[in-house]
Amino acid sequence: MSDLILETHDLWEEFSEKKILNNLSFKLKRGSFLSVVGENGVGKTTLVRIILGQLKPTHGTIKFFPNRKSIRIGYVPQFRNIDDEYPLSVKNFVALSFSGYKLPWLSRQERQQLKLVLQETDLEKIANEPLGRASGGEKQRAYLAQALAVRPDLLILDESTASLDPISKENLLRLVKKLNVDTGVTVLFVTHDIPLAKQFSDEYLLLQPNGYEVGPIDQLQVADYEGGQHV
Amino acid sequence: MFSFEFMRNAYVASTIIAIVCGFVGVFVVSRNMPFLTHTLSEIGFAGASFGMFIGITPLNGMLIFTVISSILVGKMGTKSSRRENSISAISGLFIGLGVLFLALSNKSASYATNILFGSVVGISQSDVNQMVILSVIVLLVLLVIYRNLKFDSFDPVGAKAQHVNSGLISIIFLVLLALSVSVAAQIVGALLIFILLTLPAASAKYFSHSVSKMIALAVVFGLIGVWLGLYLGYITNWPVSFFIATIECSIYFAALGFNRIMQN
Ligand SMILES: Nc1ncnc2c1ncn2[C@@H]1O[C@H](COP(=O)(O)OP(=O)(O)OP(=O)(O)O)[C@@H](O)[C@H]1O
Ligand SMILES: [Mg+2]
């Protein structure tokens, strides 16, 4: 009798005669932490784009509860182009998230929200430093903070840890897990790192070239998934 | 100097131009559009000579040409690699057209020089009024789309993830850019517009870490250039555009130097 945040039914996507995702039907529980795993090109990012509404599925449906409008999604994309001359400070980068056709300056409530999210992601110390000169781990935290600034119900991380060293990876995930437990934000974590997935998530969704598997994370067999062995 | 009406007009006009260019320029630089800006000014040149040919003011001719072509570019170019090429093609076509209209309209060569390199003498009160109105429109629209434009310009990936309508924002911004180009051309001329639209903003980037401060600094750098340029032009009788270009370039190179020192 669990409370769902989204459910897909018989989903697939066709790209130039290639079928991605195999009649995927899965349920995502509110407040859960799901790891999405599978080899390169199997359709993880495609699934994320369908959830975000950037891509219409060729077949099947996706339902949000109570409805799409009332679900806020925070998304940390797989690729980002921030070079070392990037001028904005960490704080101002995070604040970009407060978009919409509103007054140019932030409201008091937005400023408080900004402060809080910088605290949560441990970015207060470097809040006024330019993002271009932050380390890889700090950048990832800033991306996370930007996604969190709008107080999402669902947080989607697409391989956000791929370029980090083991310790920074764990720190970032520990942070996400803490927010997941404390605030109840649902997490969808796309990763190739099986040990990390096992350490932090509740459930897994394994996408395969001709099928898929879902289950509690402790049932995920490393042998099911070859991609995890690659660097 | 201010006893001459044309100098008063020139000062008012160039102050407005510096403000608009500071605002718009910060986004031109962050969206990486200096090349497109340069092309729009060439299109503006064609528009101005077209205007003379059919008997409307150069400013109105410019407005027609730049606004239409900015919408075309916006519709055409979603992929940036393709955009560069289509811009080159459009640019060549329009310079050709500009030369043709100029020849057809039978105006003297000094007219062409004015359009290309700007002139402070020719600015009338009604020109100033029209420039003020256009500038106020540009600034108001910028304020309305400010948050989304900022997100889309400084983090397009994040903006897309959060459903900012990038397509719409791009087209609105291109039209604003076209208006700014046409206004700025009146003082510095079609060939040197990108100086005011890119250099102050590109310099400001090195001194500040927030968009609002960048805008403020870009406006200040622009104002230094046009005010000082007008003054030096007045006392030496040399072209004002020469001074503005030299001042803005000096500021830019100083900013680069400052950045180098800060990094060591
Ligand atoms: N817009 C598109 N047009 C055509 N093919 C596409 C498009 N987007 C994705 N594909 C194809 O769909 C397949 C799945 O891509 P997707 O990005 O979802 O993989 P992924 O599981 O995220 O891979 P990775 O682990 O490398 O990130 C790939 O073969 C890709 O080439
Ligand atoms: Mg992917």
What are the residue ranges spanned by the domains of chain B? Answer: 5-263
User: How many angstroms separate the Cα of A130 from the Cα of each of B205, B221, B242, B255?
Assistant: 11, 22, 35, 16
Q: Which atom of ligand 1 is nearest to the CA of A55?
A: 1
Tell the residue nearest (CA) to atom 26 of ligand 1.
A40
* Domain at B5-263, CATH from 1.10.3470.10, 3.40.50.300, 3.90.1150.10, 1.10.3720.10: 1.10.3470.10
Q: How confident is the model at residue A1 (pLDDT cuts 50, 70, 90)?
A: very low
The pLDDT, as a whole number, for residue A169 is 86
The pLDDT, as a whole number, for residue B79 is 57
Is the distance from CB of B198 to CB of B37 less than 8 angstroms?
A: yes
Q: Which atom of ligand 1 is nearest to the CA of A227?
A: 25
CA–CA gap between residue B205 and residue B228 (Å, rounded): 22
The pLDDT, as a whole number, for residue A231 is 39
Residue among A101, A143, A147 whose CB faces B145 most closely: A101
Ranges in chain B, pLDDT < 70: 77-83, 108-109
Q: What is the mean pLDDT of residues A159-177?
A: 85
B175: number of Cβ within 10 Å: 18
pTM: 0.88
SS3 category, A64: strand
CATH code of domain A1-72+152-230 = 3.40.50.300
The pLDDT, as a whole number, for residue A25 is 93
The pLDDT, as a whole number, for residue A228 is 44
Looking at the predicted structure, is the pLDDT value of residue A164 above 50? yes
Helix axis angle, B5-30 to B211-236, nearest 10°: 150
Is the distance from CB of B114 to CB of B63 less than 8 angstroms?
A: no
Residue among A77, A87, A104 whose CB faces B143 most closely: A104
Q: Residue A68 gets which letter from DSSP?
A: G
Chain B residue at shortest CA distance from A142: B158
ipTM confidence score: 0.87
> What one-letter code names the amino acid at B18?
A
Task: Name the residue of A14, A15, A35 to mutate for ligand 1: max ligand atoms within 8 A of Cβ.
Answer: A15
Mutate to test the interface with A, among B27, B162, B215, B260 (most CBs of A within 10 A): B162
CA–CA gap between residue B137 and residue B26 (Å, rounded): 18
The pLDDT, as a whole number, for residue B42 is 86
Q: Which of B26, B15, B258, B14 is nearest to B150 (CA)?
A: B26
* Residues of each domain in chain A carrying CATH 3.40.50.300: 1-72+152-230
CA–CA gap between residue A142 and residue A100 (Å, rounded): 20
Query: Do residue A102 and residue B164 have CB atoms under 8 angstroms apart?
Result: no
Q: Please give all residues whose CB falls under 5 A of ion ligand 2, grouped by chain where several chains appear.
A: A 44-45, 78
Q: What is the pLDDT of residues A81-134, one digit of tens each?
A: 888 889 999 999 999 999 888 888 899 999 999 999 999 888 999 999 999 999
CA–CA gap between residue A42 and residue A21 (Å, rounded): 7
Chain B residue at shortest CA distance from A149: B162
Peptide bond into A66 cis (omega under 30): yes
Q: How far apart are the first and last CA of chain B?
A: 45
> What one-letter code names the amino acid at A26?
F
> What one-letter code names the amino acid at B76?
M
CA–CA gap between residue B241 and residue B191 (Å, rounded): 10
The pLDDT, as a whole number, for residue B36 is 84
Residue among A79, A87, A129 whose CB faces B214 most closely: A87
Q: Is A104 exposed, middle or buried (0-12, 13-18, 19+ CB in 10 A)?
A: middle
* Radius of gyration (C-alpha) of chain B in whole angstroms: 18
The pLDDT, as a whole number, for residue A2 is 59
**Buried (b) or exposed (e) across B204-227, using 16+ Cβ within 10 A?**
bbbbbbebeebbbbbbbbbbbbbb
Is the distance from CB of A176 to CB of A187 less than 8 angstroms?
A: yes
Query: Do residue A104 and residue B214 have CB atoms under 8 angstroms apart?
Result: no
Q: How confident is the model at residue A229 (pLDDT cuts 50, 70, 90)?
A: very low
**Buried (b) or exposed (e) across A139-152, using 16+ Cβ within 10 A?**
bbbbbbbbbbbbeb
Query: Do residue A54 and residue B160 have CB atoms under 8 angstroms apart?
Result: yes
Q: Which atom of ligand 1 is nearest to the CA of A16?
A: 4
Share of chain A above pLDDT 90, in %: 59
The pLDDT, as a whole number, for residue B77 is 61
The pLDDT, as a whole number, for residue A225 is 59
Backbone dihedral region for residue B213 (phi beyond 0: left; psi -120 to 50: alpha; all else: beta): alpha
**Which residues does chain A have within 8 Å of residue B140's beta carbon, measured at their own beta carbons?**
none
| A1 vs B101: which has the higher pLDDT | B101
Q: Which residue has the tokens 């205007």?
A: B51
Question: Could you give the dihedral angle defined by the CA atoms of residues B89, B93, B94 and B96, in that order, rounded to the nearest 10 degrees?
Answer: 140
Q: Which atom of ligand 1 is nearest to the CA of A207?
A: 21
Give residues with Cβ within 8 angstroms of A73, minimum separation 6: A51, A52, A152, A153, A154, A155, A156
Tell the residue nearest (CA) to atom 2 of ligand 1.
A15
Q: What is the pLDDT of residues A18-74, one digit of tens each?
A: 889 989 999 999 999 999 999 999 999 999 999 998 899 999 999 998 888 888 899
Q: What is the mean pLDDT of residues A142-157?
A: 93
Q: Is B165 exposed, middle or buried (0-12, 13-18, 19+ CB in 10 A)?
A: middle
Q: Is A26 on the interface with B (CB under 8 A)?
A: no
* Radius of gyration (C-alpha) of chain A in whole angstroms: 18
Mutate to test the interface with A, among B157, B165, B166 (most CBs of A within 10 A): B157
